[in-house]
A and B are shown apart, each in its own frame.
Chain A
């Protein structure tokens, strides 16, 4: 993640490639009276080299890197930026004018620029071969529109609690550190993101903007499982329904930005091997690339093998292991002026995935993502069109589950039968996004279209001789065709005041095609017409006001909607492991709508940074499950049907802060709380996380990094009893200790202890009160070439 001197002025999170002409590094020629004559240069350099060889050996040439750090958005100097020479103990700090001087000898160095309120950036410099005398670095402020968090996977985000560990173990580690972001935990694998208490169809989770629809009707294959750490460049996470570019959603958006081929290095290779004690997890991963002229290729692979994991103070839980591999290949070709074609392929396969609180395990979960992307970057950024990216894609997800390894005669529910399940999704789509600069106006236009076909079924093979085989069609070939147009516009309004507005229009048509499935739903809803069309608009507006240079206030408003999922429309007897009910879809569901208001405060100084948000969501047509009256007389099993509640509400807030305790020490903390209420049923919304908090102390030196972190959660006794069958959850307190150390020759050691006290606890959002992992001692060694 080095060699990225410039990041976009926007918050998209993908850095521009290294632009050589923007990097000006002072070199000793300035002091040598260099002339413009090539012969003279040759002679003088020869003399100098000879002199060095004869007289100065073994000393190295000494250079001075001069530079200036600017705010990428405001184009003003940034003082007190920490500049560290990676792999050494050298470094410096910018002055009040953002300027710095750094003495360096021969070689290539990676400089890391970090400052409160800005995204950390790393840059490769080679002092002796670069010309000019000023290095200009533009840091991207982390104070962004709405409550957006841009977390780069391999670069700590100084000034935010979400700063990741220097080396991640899993993608979840990154998202989990963001205040207001949680996970639905179903097993030791593939957690599903939750933003401010909302999940599934209420939030948008995409990979490079690509819609990936899970194939498991029980949602055991969340999209976030498909991007492994070695492929993760950044996470763009927006809380609330303000970012309309990543799908119709009311709760937030997560865009997992993957790594792409690099053109700045002819060949590179990173590899890592690690071990985690809590589940005897063995993992290896590697990523490498090569470039030549206009071509570049990048590939990665990883493999994990996990045994059963052990909660705090107890033995390992049976059926909680898994095995997984992941591979990604990207081929890029540059042509013309600023054009690039990138063909990408991502494959993720997981098998033998144990779900200890479920009745069955995943035999195989296989996802494939194919995409072809054309990117145009205006070479000088002097026209109206700055960037235009168009992507076509195809995703396939297949998911098999069964319970052949379980003792089915011993369980209480579905006793004496095997229940293999299968599901698939096939999605094809196109996404085009253009970024325009029209004077002070910044406009992003997005066109998004996709089609998804899904299928899901389950057989039941009874071991009782008098019970015939049973077959359940959960999803009988649903077809969803969706299109959206999005416009995003931002501009300054007055001194210190700026605005951003987004509008989005969604059109979605869906139907169910398999005759058996149609017949069931037609009978349930007493209609022959199951096709449904949704067309609706969304809008958001944010105002950002700089009360003082260090203090900004933000007001965000939104009126947005989200589509029912295909399961909510057409699912049939889909078992919900959260409440133990079988759910039937409702083709007549309305879009779930939310009116939101959010107030934010950000105060950033060189010493500390503080961020606080409060928000209120008024939800209409909240989609939930209620008792299915169409199944009168059912006894053993409980059935629900999706329906709209008239009103629900979400109220909450997050506060996070970071305090510099010196040049290398930093303290960070954050608190998040959300309160959801179903106003129709006068009970809490289900699956609301309790008040959670984090606090950490970090040590960050050029070659060493460490963190002591405390995570805690209050008890959650506000639970849904009517629309859910939740129970209360106790609070917990967990200590984590992490660190990494860079060795010569590109080696890095990483180690840590999670849940140091071996506390037994479970998250409120864990299925079936599945306990969290106990003490986990992990270690890894990584090498970069």
Chain B
């Protein structure tokens, strides 16, 4: 039996010693092959915080405020406890003009107590601007108000068109593009003396394109946006790859056809 064990052990050892895969964890492949699960959404950052009537009112966002449509986060807290509130009012002004706000999409608080609201920071292209924000929240039978200024950076998420005067085309959704099929929403506004009015008579078309460098590139499936309400146009885009994309939007109004480029945004 000993002989058998010895021989069997020899056979076993031989196999185990030799049939091993090389370690490639130190190779370029592993070093440059990131784990896609690491691409998590950005953290929430506080834009302003004020204390009034015992409540702490927080305005936050997941990215720096930029020209065009922004999702801002509002929370009311009493110490560490989140206080439910019944209404929220938001007003953003730049000079004499008041920005459109999207309070219709205010929903239930998230797990951190934030509710979301939409603001269109429609401003001339090319430079940052200081906007005045007024926030009023009714909570626990009281109304808390605060006002402060924020800097809104110029960004590709809003483009300016000249069609019988300036038009502002805002990228509304997806806020953080990811691969897969999703609603693609744009908003079209025209400035007035005191604010902005929705443009509802445009026909929009798209051309998404991924520049892969070296003259190569490709598009992705999409459906052209159509007008839904209040200057909101909704289509669909199925981003098939994560990476840098360009989106060309064609805006047709009457015989005027303008071409707008949202270039080099990242799809996660």
Quote the shortest CB–CB distance from B18 to chain A (angstroms).
Answer: 4
Determine, out of B100-108, B112-120, B164-172, B173-181, the stretch whose residues face the partner at the interface.
B173-181
When the two chains form the complex, which single residue of A292, A349, A630 contacts B1, counting CB atoms closer than 8 Å? A292
List chain A residues, Cβ under 8 A from B218: 631, 634-637, 639
When the two chains form the complex, which single residue of B8, B18, B178, B216 contacts A415, counting CB atoms closer than 8 Å? B216
| Given A289-B11, A329-B12, A523-B181, CB of A464 within 8 Å of CB of B214 | yes
Q: Give 1 or 0 for each of A449-478: 1 = CB within 8 Å of chain B CB.
A: 000000001011111101111111100000
When the two chains form the complex, which single residue of B4, B179, B244 contacts A290, counting CB atoms closer than 8 Å? B4
Contact between A572 and B32, CB atoms less than 8 A apart:
no
Q: Is B196 an interface residue (CB 8 A)?
A: no
| Given A290-B4, A524-B221, CB of A363 within 8 Å of CB of B181 | no
B220-247: which residues lie under 8 A (CB-CB) from chain A? 220-221, 236, 238-244
Contact between B24 and A413, CB atoms less than 8 A apart:
no
List chain B residues, Cβ under 8 A from A52: none
Contact between A404 and B243, CB atoms less than 8 A apart:
no
Contact between A630 and B178, CB atoms less than 8 A apart:
no
Q: Give 1 or 0 for each of B22-33: 1 = CB within 8 Å of chain A CB.
A: 101001110011
User: CA A288 – CA B14 in complex, angstroms?
Assistant: 10
B14-62: which residues lie under 8 A (CB-CB) from chain A? 14-16, 18-22, 24, 27-29, 32-34, 36
Q: Give 1 or 0 for each of B162-206: 1 = CB within 8 Å of chain A CB.
A: 000000000000000011111000000000000000000000000
User: CA A291 – CA B4 in complex, angstroms?
Assistant: 7
Contact between A467 and B179, CB atoms less than 8 A apart:
no
Q: Which residue of B lies closest to A366 (CB)?
A: B21
Contact between B8 and A297, CB atoms less than 8 A apart:
yes
Quote the shortest CB–CB distance from B162 to chain A (angstroms).
Answer: 26
Contact between A349 and B11, CB atoms less than 8 A apart:
no
List chain B residues, Cβ under 8 A from A439: none
User: CA A349 – CA B24 in complex, angstroms?
Assistant: 12
List chain B residues, Cβ under 8 A from A289: 11
Interface residues contributed by chain B, number (CB under 8 Å) = 53
Quote the shortest CB–CB distance from A231 to chain B (angstroms).
Answer: 11
Quote the shortest CB–CB distance from B29 to chain A (angstroms).
Answer: 5
A414-473: which residues lie under 8 A (CB-CB) from chain B? 414-418, 420, 422, 457, 459-464, 466-473
Contact between B240 and A471, CB atoms less than 8 A apart:
no
Q: Is A728 an interface residue (CB 8 A)?
A: no
Q: Which residue of A lies closest to B7 (CB)?
A: A290
User: CA A462 – CA B264 in complex, angstroms?
Assistant: 14
List chain B residues, Cβ under 8 A from A573: 240-241
Q: Is B143 an interface residue (CB 8 A)?
A: no
When the two chains form the complex, which single residue of A299, A303, A470 contacts B241, counting CB atoms closer than 8 Å? A470
Contact between A299 and B15, CB atoms less than 8 A apart:
yes
When the two chains form the complex, which single residue of A266, A286, A363 contacts B24, counting CB atoms closer than 8 Å? A363
Q: Is A633 an interface residue (CB 8 A)?
A: yes
Q: Is A267 an interface residue (CB 8 A)?
A: yes
Contact between A524 and B238, CB atoms less than 8 A apart:
yes
Q: Give 1 or 0 for each of A596-618: 1 = CB within 8 Å of chain B CB.
A: 00000000000000000000000
Q: Is B210 an interface residue (CB 8 A)?
A: yes
| Given A460-B243, A470-B243, A473-B179, CB of A422 within 8 Å of CB of B15 | no
Q: Is A327 an interface residue (CB 8 A)?
A: yes
Contact between B214 and A470, CB atoms less than 8 A apart:
no
When the two chains form the complex, which single residue of A347, A516, A633 contacts B180, counting CB atoms closer than 8 Å? A516
The total number of A-B Cβ pairs within 8 Å is: 191
Contact between A327 and B221, CB atoms less than 8 A apart:
no
Contact between A516 and B21, CB atoms less than 8 A apart:
no
Q: Is B213 an interface residue (CB 8 A)?
A: yes
Contact between B219 and A266, CB atoms less than 8 A apart:
no
Q: Is A328 an interface residue (CB 8 A)?
A: yes
List chain A residues, Cβ under 8 A from B243: 460, 467-471
Q: Is B79 an interface residue (CB 8 A)?
A: no
| Given A326-B19, A404-B29, CB of A286 within 8 Å of CB of B14 | yes
| Given A634-B218, A636-B216, CB of A290 within 8 Å of CB of B11 | yes
A458-508: which residues lie under 8 A (CB-CB) from chain B? 459-464, 466-473
Contact between A415 and B11, CB atoms less than 8 A apart:
no
List chain A residues, Cβ under 8 A from B153: none
List chain A residues, Cβ under 8 A from B213: 415-417, 462-464, 466-467
| Given A349-B20, A633-B207, CB of A301 within 8 Å of CB of B14 | yes
List chain B residues, Cβ under 8 A from A635: 217-219
Contact between A415 and B215, CB atoms less than 8 A apart:
yes
Q: Is B266 an interface residue (CB 8 A)?
A: yes
Quote the shortest CB–CB distance from A95 to chain B (angstroms).
Answer: 43
Contact between B214 and A416, CB atoms less than 8 A apart:
yes
List chain B residues, Cβ under 8 A from A633: 207, 209, 219
Q: Is A400 an interface residue (CB 8 A)?
A: yes
Contact between A634 and B219, CB atoms less than 8 A apart:
yes
Contact between A364 and B179, CB atoms less than 8 A apart:
no
Q: Is A522 an interface residue (CB 8 A)?
A: yes
Q: Is A298 an interface residue (CB 8 A)?
A: yes
User: CA A519 – CA B18 in complex, angstroms?
Assistant: 44
Quote the shortest CB–CB distance from B20 to chain A (angstroms).
Answer: 7
Q: Give 1 or 0 for each of A323-341: 1 = CB within 8 Å of chain B CB.
A: 0011111000000000000
| Given A519-B178, A520-B240, CB of A636 within 8 Å of CB of B215 | yes
Q: Is B212 an interface residue (CB 8 A)?
A: yes
| Given A325-B19, A522-B180, CB of A351 within 8 Å of CB of B24 | yes
Contact between B216 and A301, CB atoms less than 8 A apart:
no
User: CA A462 – CA B22 in complex, angstroms?
Assistant: 27
Contact between B29 and A402, CB atoms less than 8 A apart:
yes
Contact between A471 and B217, CB atoms less than 8 A apart:
no
Contact between B238 and A520, CB atoms less than 8 A apart:
yes
Residue of A461, A517, A637 with most partner-chain B CB within 10 A: A637
Contact between B264 and A466, CB atoms less than 8 A apart:
yes
Contact between B34 and A459, CB atoms less than 8 A apart:
yes
| Given A347-B19, A635-B218, CB of A471 within 8 Å of CB of B242 | yes
Contact between A414 and B212, CB atoms less than 8 A apart:
yes
Quote the shortest CB–CB distance from B99 to chain A (angstroms).
Answer: 30
Contact between A459 and B18, CB atoms less than 8 A apart:
no
List chain A residues, Cβ under 8 A from B34: 459
- 29 A-B contacts (beta carbon < 8 Å): A290-B4, A290-B11, A297-B12, A301-B15, A328-B15, A351-B24, A400-B24, A409-B214, A414-B214, A415-B216, A420-B28, A420-B32, A470-B210, A470-B212, A470-B244, A471-B36, A473-B179, A518-B180, A519-B180, A519-B238, A524-B181, A631-B221, A632-B219, A632-B221, A634-B218, A636-B212, A636-B215, A637-B218, A639-B218
Q: Which B residues form the contact surface with A (CB < 8 A)?
A: 1, 3-4, 7-8, 10-12, 14-16, 18-22, 24, 27-29, 32-34, 36, 178-182, 207, 209-221, 236, 238-244, 264, 266
Q: A348-B19, A460-B243, A473-B179 are in contact. List 7 more A-B contacts (CB 8 A).
A: A289-B11, A295-B4, A351-B24, A363-B27, A364-B22, A520-B179, A637-B218
Per CB-CB distance, the 7 closest pairs between chain A and chain B, nearest first, are: A523-B181, A519-B180, A327-B19, A470-B243, A415-B214, A292-B4, A523-B238
